[in-house]
Structure 1
């Protein structure tokens, strides 16, 4: 069972060069992702007089986030695993693929990367606002929680299928492409309702810089629940069963 493989790790892990390099890679990947993703929304709003709230703006943001995440995951994959998302890190932790100590390092780096990206955007744009995630009119917090759970489930399930599953083979750049595509598609599905975060760090940076915290907890609860469910389902139904079948076959 995945729960049996959950590991806390040791404090010494936090000072290991390999862990520090991986943490730095997560910081840089998150900075790249948020700067490009959040920046694209700011640019589109400036060019079209707040046209980012139109269907065209939603499509533009979906494409920008898909491309940016593809790059961010690709450049970090060989160093940190290219999580670029605290929810993805949590899913890996639930499945026993990363220790709690390493997860905490990643979470700190991811949150800082998002904040720094938003600060750089504010500096580079002469003080333009980095808009915090917000719920659309008529969308309740629990509507948004369901959206975030389902969208993040799809994201983390994709991560497991293309990047974590030991049977995946050599997929090369397929994993980052698939991860970028599912995020882009989810933005098209949920962007008009709650912004389609799927990533607590992506929500955290703009919230800190703009100091806007309305319903912010939604963008933590939903992604973490969705990530945990996806990790457990994939581990129990596909990874563990495959290992059990291999052991059984080896006995004959």
Structure 2
């Protein structure tokens, strides 16, 4: 019975403050992602925005959000990430479902705020809604989004591996750069969603659901594939507490230990 509760996620609700803080963090993160990210796709001056600016806007906003809110909810900010975590057993079923719901609601709110703050004559631009380029078929778009989800989750699992403590300080930056890389490579092909919730919010606000399934099925299947491959093939071995401590020992630490040891010997002298 205990294992069933753990898998389903019943135990997550015993600490109500923790789960609600996590859900609020995921909601707010998606509000900010959709607002700032999609705003970079709208040209207010009439000058076309370059793909580099869009890519780095999405990458940087993910970087700052993971850095700021990652300790509260894990910094998923993406249903594909959540499903990838669920497939690897890193998050319970109920908690994962609630994460996806608030992620989509947050994206909707962020896109709605962007629409409210954008001049009406610019609404026809789609306000950052993702869509396939003219010569890209839905199957090709699915393949592109599959690999965008794949690389994102592969990076997340790599830098958040509990047996790689040296990777944690740069984790948020690496995740943000993975998002930027995906946009640099594919924003002109599919819009480089990588995030079903981000596409959901902008599609609902723009009332355009053309090939919308691509932005759910592609990233999610890519995420699941990457999560399972990393978990079963690439997970770092458990080094044990002694080896982890040794990895972080510095020259300054050694000098301080010697000084303290010397002080103890002097105190014990008659």
Short-chain TM bin: 0.7 to 0.9
Q: What TM-score, normalized by structure 1, do the two folds share?
A: 0.86
RMSD between aligned alpha carbons? Answer: 2.1
Runs of at least 4 residues off by over 4 Å: none
Instruction: Output one character per residue of 1:106-135: Cα deviation in whole Å (capped at 9) or x when no partner.
Output: 111110111000111111123342242110
Structure 1 residue 41 displacement after superposition:
1.2
Structure 1 residue 9 displacement after superposition:
1.9
1:249 maps to which residue?
none
* Contact 1:197/1:203, CA 8 A, preserved across alignment: yes
Which of 150, 163, 167 is matched with 1:167 structurally? 163
5 Å-filtered alignment, 1:20-169, equals 20-42=20-42, 45-49=43-47, 51-52=48-49, 57-127=50-120, 128-129=122-123, 130-163=127-160, 165-169=161-165
2:240 matched to 1:242? no
Write the distance in 1 (CA, Å) between the matches of 2:149 and 2:201: 18
Whose radius of gyration is greater, 1 or 2? 2
* Contact 2:12/2:95, CA 8 A, preserved across alignment: no
Note the residue ranges of structure 1 that are not aligned, 5 or more in a row: 1-5, 247-252
* Contact 2:129/2:203, CA 8 A, preserved across alignment: yes
Structure 1 residue 26 displacement after superposition:
0.4
Structure 1 residue 81 displacement after superposition:
0.5
* Contact 1:14/1:101, CA 8 A, preserved across alignment: no
The 3 A distance-change label for structure 1 pair 173 and 119 is farther
5 Å-filtered alignment, 1:141-220, equals 141-163=138-160, 165-220=161-216
Aligned positions, number: 232
* Contact 1:13/1:101, CA 8 A, preserved across alignment: no
- Secondary structure at 1:96 match in 2: coil
The 3 A distance-change label for structure 1 pair 173 and 29 is farther
Q: What TM-score, normalized by structure 2, do the two folds share?
A: 0.81
